[in-house]
C-alpha cells in the first residue's frame, strides 16, 4: 500500500500567518516563459487544518499527480479562482505586467475577501487587500502550492486545446516553451495569432 505523504511544513507556515491574518489566499502564476499562449494565475483560500495529501510545489509533482491534486484542491478549498492575461495583453504591457494582471484578476475573482494575499516570487500585483511576497513560495506555503497546481494544470489543459486547433506546432509536447521542436515548427509554419510576438522579435526581423 502506497504511503500517503503530507508536507506538514507548508501547512504550518500558513497556520503561523493565520495568527495575524485569519483568511489568507495563496497566489501563483504559470506560463511566463513560453513563446505562445496566455499567462495563467490562480488564487486559493485553503481551509485551516485541512492537510491535503501530496500537495507541494507543482514543479516537484508529476503531471498525473498534479491532475489529481487539481480536482482535490477545487473540491476542498474554501475558495479559488483561475484567471488569465491574453497574448495581446502580454505583447502590449509586457509579460511581467501581464502576469501581475492575471494574479490581480485571480484574487479579485475569489468569492471571499482575504485578509492577506501571499504572492509567489519577489513582486506584488496591485491588490485591494494587503499582500506579501514569498520567495520560493510554492515550496513554502500550502496556499501558494495549491495556487501553483491550479495555474499549472489549467494552463497545460489550455495548451492541449490549442494543440488541437494548431496541430502543426505540437503544443501538446512543449506547452509553448522555446524548445528545439517549437523553433523548428516556427521556422516551418511561421508565427500564429496565439504566439507572443514580443518574445519573437528576432524571428520577426528575420522574416522582413
Give the DSSP letter string of 92-151: HH-HHHHHHHHHHHHHHT-SS--SEEEEESS-----SS-EEEETTGGGT-HHHHHHHHHH
Residue 164 lies in a domain: no
pTM score, two decimals?
Answer: 0.94
Q: Which residues have C-beta within 8 Å of that of residue 80, sequence separation ≥ 6?
A: 42, 43, 44, 45, 73, 74, 110, 146, 147, 150
pLDDT tens for residues 112-141? 999 999 999 999 999 999 999 999 999 999
- Structural domains in the chain (count): 1
The verdict on residue 206 lying in a domain is no
CA quadruple 182, 122, 86, 171: dihedral, nearest 10:
20
Mean pLDDT of 194-198: 96
* pLDDT bracket for residue 205 (50, 70, 90): confident
Give the integer Cα–Cα distance in Å for 109 and 126: 14
Q: Say which residue the cell 489568507 belongs to.
A: 24
Q: Residue 132's domain spans which residues?
A: 8-158
- The CATH number that applies at residue 138 is 3.30.420.10
Higher per-residue confidence, 28 vs 6: 28
pLDDT, tens digit (0-9, with 9 covering 90-100), for 68-118: 999 999 999 999 999 999 999 999 999 999 999 999 999 999 999 999 999
Is 153 a member of any domain?
yes
What is the full DSSP assignment across 154-167? HHHHHHHHHHHHSG
Residues 136, 144: Cα–Cα separation, whole Å: 9
Domain assignment present for residue 190? The answer is: no
Q: What is the pLDDT of residues 5-16, one digit of tens each?
A: 899 999 999 999
C-alpha–C-alpha distance, residues 35 and 190, integer Å:
13
Q: Is residue 177 part of a domain?
A: no
Residue 35, helix vs strand vs coil: coil
Contact 9, 142 (CB under 8 A): no
Q: Is 100 within a domain? A: yes
Residue 206 reports pLDDT greater than 90: no
Residue 208: what pLDDT?
45
Amino acid at each position: 500500500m502506497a504511503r500517503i505523504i503530507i508536507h506538514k511544513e507548508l501547512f504550518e507556515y500558513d497556520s503561523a500567518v493565520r495568527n495575524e491574518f485569519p483568511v489568507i489566499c495563496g497566489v501563483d502564476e504559470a506560463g511566463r516563459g513560453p513563446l505562445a499562449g496566455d499567462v495563467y494565475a490562480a488564487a486559493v483560500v485553503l481551509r485551516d487544518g485541512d492537510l491535503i495529501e501530496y500537495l507541494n510545489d507543482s514543479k516537484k509533482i508529476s503531471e498525473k499527480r498534479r491532475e489529481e491534486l487539481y480536482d482535490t484542491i477545487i473540491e476542498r478549498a474554501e475558495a479559488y479562482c483561475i484567471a488569465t492575461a491574453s497574448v495581446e495583453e502580454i505583447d502590449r504591457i509586457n509579460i511581467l505586467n501581464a502576469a501581475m494582471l492575471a494574479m490581480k484578476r485571480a484574487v479579485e475573482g475569489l468569492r471571499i475577501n482575504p485578509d492577506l494575499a501571499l504572492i509567489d516570487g519577489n513582486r506584488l500585483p496591485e491588490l485591494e487587500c494587503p499582500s506579501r511576497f514569498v520567495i520560493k513560495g510554492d515550496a513554502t506555503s500550502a496556499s501558494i502550492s495549491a495556487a501553483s497546481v491550479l495555474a499549472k494544470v489549467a494552463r497545460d489543459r489550455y495548451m492541449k486545446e490549442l494543440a488541437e486547433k494548431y496541430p502543426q506546432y505540437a503544443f501538446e509536447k512543449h506547452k509553448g516553451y522555446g524548445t528545439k521542436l517549437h523553433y523548428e515548427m516556427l521556422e516551418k509554419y511561421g508565427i500564429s495569432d496565439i504566439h507572443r510576438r514580443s518574445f519573437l522579435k528576432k524571428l520577426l526581423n528575420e522574416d522582413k
